[in-house]
A and B are shown apart, each in its own frame.
Chain A
Amino acid sequence: MEQPVKKGLDLNRRPMPKQPVEVRRRNFEEVALGYDAKLAMEEASRCIQCKKPGCVEKCPVEVDIPGFIQAIAEGDFERGVRILKAKNSLPSVCGRVCPQETQCEGGCALHRKAGQIAIGRLERFLGDWEAAQPDFMLPEVAPPTGKRVAVVGGGPAGLTVAGDLVKLGHEVTIFEALHKVGGVLVYGIPEFRLPKRIVEREVEYLRRLGVKMVTNYVVGKTRTVDSLLEEYDAVFVGSGAGLPWFSEMPGNNLNGVYSANEYLTRINLMRGYTFPLAPTPVKRHVRVAVIGGGNVAMDCARTALRMGAETTILYRRSREEMPARLEEIENAEEEGVIFRYLTLPVRCIGDERGWVKGLECIRMELGEPDASGRRSPLPVPGSEFFLPFDAVIHAIGNSPNPLIPQTTPGIEIGRKGNIVADPQTGKTTKPRVWAGGDVVTGAATVILAMGAGRRAARSIHEYLTNPGEW
């Protein structure tokens, strides 16, 4: 199915302008500046419009990628937006945070020659182009069906369900625990990677479509799912994976030790980087350690750097095994984050006032590949050493918050605290309750959460228009 790569192809991926390293490592402005129309059209013109596009096959929501790229190449951005938004309601977000290298761009016919089309950047271009237009391009909304749907959690999964169902004429209300809708997009992913105004605009778009949003509402506490079911025809749970893990080691409760969620929430959601202008306090640390090697670890490290600290990532395997996106690793490296591979912290050491003053670490070496194919790290006996830090951030993972599982009788819960749902429909074991996103899969990606939301919306619509057996 791969297309033959012809001679004379333009394999020159147009680079996207970025803020210079020296400038950006000290500010919270967006790092990547995006294509302008000329660059976008140049890049789009490189697309060879495969008959059987590998990019679409690898897109979790099956966007008609060659279609919108063709539209860009022709300069018809409005058509491009329509094609894109038919499948992906958050292009400005996905263009910025999707792991394109393993998805669409990984499937591009030009990938073999390292000239894959910069699909993510083009997607972002269209999303931003639309945002710059004087008004929203609102799609048609079907006449009211009289059916009511409650969506628990305003992250990418919940927003997608809400958008899809409101367009079909259902009355949709999002219940969000925090004071802002957006989920990880507003409390986790930092401003310099995903400016909050972009998320706010997407949320505003849904509001204009008629989605009701109730913030400051903790389902399971303010009201249970069962109680929502009395008033709504269907409930979708997209409550994410918000329970932070701490590596098991002594000293984790010293002052200066954070979960990634706490650190990022203080700075992003609560705008602590402007403290004391915004009243939520944030410490100015001198030497920060981030434990972990995923995207969350990169976000924490690059945030700490911007807060003025010398920042080190401690990862127990080597660079090759790091789960973070390559682009984020490179950005962190360029900005001056220090990487210590094959290093496992085993103890937080505190001072007499209860503040962390450093980590005792042990060196690791890579053993045989484990079940997941990754080589598992083994400690080197006697190799303990001390590294001084005044802050330690745990970025080793999250699992679903137990609040809803605990307060929703009849819903099946998996081994890892996740809600069990049918991958095709999002149906849970509890009638009229659907679930999707991180609460089902465990911490994953924005696009997978959106894909799950889309499938659940389809199933909810089917059920509402033609209720049958559960």
Chain B
Amino acid sequence: MFEIIENRMLVPNVHEMTVHAPDVAKSALPGQFVIFRSEEEGERIPLSLADWDVESGIITVVYLNVGRSTAKLATLKAGQALPTVVGPLGNPMEIDYYGAVLCVGGCYGIASIYPIARALKEAGNKVVCVLEARSSFLLYWQEKLSAVADRLIYLTRDGSRGKRGHVGNLAEILHALPMRIDRVILNGCNYLMMRGSQETLPLKIKTMVTLNTLMIDGTGMCGVCRVTVNSETKFACVDGPHFDGHQVDWAELTQRRKAYLQEEILALRTTRPL
């Protein structure tokens, strides 16, 4: 069992949980993920590792309360325990010296981009972070990110903070920057990553995305995480989750994500207490 240290809502519907999982913390690298179960017999929920500390053995994840299983997760309190925390899974994000890197995070991706931005910075890159949200009150972790980024750009749909717009304005943002960006990293919902990749394609900037597929085991055993990248089938959990955004078959990914929409709604409609 894995003890919950803290579980709180950061901004509406976005929660941060810290858990004692020393073996995961010891091996974690930027861009890897974990799988949680919130209860016995519970569903396996893949979540990006947003932070970890080897010494205390504590890992941090940020999750969106979107379905029955994450709703259950949100009800848990410090001192309670999770039956499953397994990881770190997947490959780490490729980190090297590229020059200037633009990291874009939206919704939970604001948190998952953090360890990547930190590692890129440590590797000597100039790091610009773009935080995207519907409105300013949905932004979080600004302090953490500003500590590792050379520059922070806010992008809100209603213009309540920073630039008014969304990821569809990425090309504009890139043009307006004083330096040339050598690599773009996108993290958030699949729409954000797809739309962002479309923006960088004509600019010929290498763009990495962290795919968010359905998963069960996370070890290459079931194949539900299949994606088509560069016309080849890959298992996102073991071959990814990071891929070149210009090579991903986004239409297929979007459809595959929706496979259990009806069942997810059904699970939410039950009146049984969580």
Residues of A at the B interface (CB closer than 8 Å) are: 177-179, 187, 215-218, 221-223, 242-244, 246, 252-253, 255-256, 258-259, 261-262, 265-266, 270-271, 275-276, 278-283, 353-354, 401-403
Contact = CB atoms under 8 A, between A and B. Distances in A.
**Which 7 A-B pairs have CB atoms at the shortest separation, nearest pair first?**
A354-B255, A281-B263, A262-B222, A216-B86, A242-B221, A259-B223, A281-B260
A266 B216 contact: yes
> For the complex, would chain B's binding face be called helix, strand, loop or mixed by DSSP majority?
mixed
A223 B23 contact: yes
A216 B84 contact: yes
B88 A276 contact: no
Contacts of B259: 255-256, 283
A442 to B, nearest CB: 15
Contact of B256 (A244, A255, A283): A255
B89 A265 contact: no
Contacts of B122: none
Interface range for B: 35 or more
A390 to B, nearest CB: 12
B217 interface: yes
A266 B226 CA distance: 16
Contacts of A179: 37, 44, 83-84, 86
Contact of A401 (B26, B69, B72, B220): B220
Interface string B161-195: 00000000000000000000000000000000000
Contacts of A266: 216
A222 B267 contact: no
B41 interface: yes
Interface of B: 23-24, 26-27, 37, 41-44, 68-69, 72, 83-89, 216-217, 219-224, 226-228, 233, 238, 251-252, 255-256, 258-260, 263-264, 266-267, 270
A276 B267 contact: yes
A91 B72 CA distance: 39
Given A179-B84, A279-B43, A253 B219 contact: no
Contacts of B87: 218, 221-222
Contacts of A283: 259-260, 263
A361 B24 CA distance: 46
Contacts of A215: 84
Contacts of B83: 179
Nearest to A401: B220
A276 B266 contact: yes
Contacts of B44: 179, 270, 280
